[in-house]
Amino acid sequence: MIHTLDNKSLLNQGIIIFAYLAVLTMLEYFVAVAFDAVPILVVVAAIKAALVAYYFMHIYKLNLESHVEDEHSYAYKAATNRLGLWLFLVSDSFVFGGLMVARINLLGMTRPHLNQLLGLFVTAVLLISSFFMNRGETMMHNGDREGFLKNTMITFFLGLAFLLGVVLIEWHTVPAIAEPILHLFGEAPGTEPLTPSAGPAGAVFFMMTGMHAFHVLTGLILLAIVWRNGRKGLYDEKQYPVEAAAVYWHFVDLVWIFFYPALYLIGSLT
């Protein structure tokens, strides 16, 4: 089982899983551009989500300490907190699922006019952030506080870059910043930016990315808190808060695994 692996094996496993995710992300981009084969895109997204849920979010840990009977032990409290977190994430998934249903009903087999290269870039940034979060969590679990602090800091700045890429550039919040960057990604000068009032496409895009951006922001706050507490040595022995923050961050990544093809890849331009 995965939880019996040593520290080096877990770190190497994280590299392998990230490599799979990177290859699958490039595959779905290529499939969308060359073939527009929706079933393949759905299957690839499902495989990526399964990899993140099992290897990065550690869903198998829900049964890891089911045998613990001492209600006052830290292992028992961590197990119950873990179950509570997953119940929250499942309930939160219904919000994102509702947004996906709205996207399908309102847009069908069309998609908003968005820069696909920029979408691929911000997706890569978020996937890389999950890779570093996994490394940081693994290192903290094995007593490497400095490694945890370094990797969590990298995760934070990558997450911030993703958030700014969506809010500043994709939303065109600051045209003076957005337009030159979009031009670097091949956007033609004078292209009309998507707005919330631009029909169903605009409404769907801003609702989906807005809700996701809110969760990214809350994830960044959690990362800042666990980094600060970790620096004080609060997790040297009791590390579940680090796991909880990591699971939440990977959940944000998992949601984007489905939002990315739904917004950037599937369907023809509206």
pLDDT tens-digit series, residues 31-47: 998 887 899 999 999 99
What is the rounded distance in angstroms from the CA atom of residue 190 to the CA atom of residue 179?
A: 9
The reply to whether CATH 1.10.8.50 applies to domain 2-269 is no
What is the residue-averaged pLDDT of the chain? 93
As given in the structure block, the two tokens for residue 38 are 């929706």
**Cα angle for residues 72, 75, 79 (degrees, 5° grid):** 105
Q: What is the mean pLDDT of residues 55-69?
A: 80
Residues 6+ apart with CB under 8 A from 220: 156, 159, 160, 163
DSSP H or E run through 111: strand 110-111
Q: Give the pLDDT confidence of 90-126 residue by residue, as tens digits.
A: 999 999 999 999 999 999 999 999 999 999 999 999 9
Q: Give the pLDDT confidence of 177-191 residue by residue, as tens digits.
A: 999 999 999 998 888
Per the CB < 8 A criterion, the answer to whether 230 and 140 are in contact is yes
Q: Give the pLDDT confidence of 133-165 residue by residue, as tens digits.
A: 999 999 999 999 999 999 999 999 999 999 999
Which amino acid would we find at residue 1?
M
Per the CB < 8 A criterion, the answer to whether 215 and 252 are in contact is yes
Per the CB < 8 A criterion, the answer to whether 133 and 226 are in contact is no
Q: What is the mean pLDDT of residues 224-252?
A: 95
What is the rounded distance in angstroms from the CA atom of residue 198 to the CA atom of residue 204?
A: 10
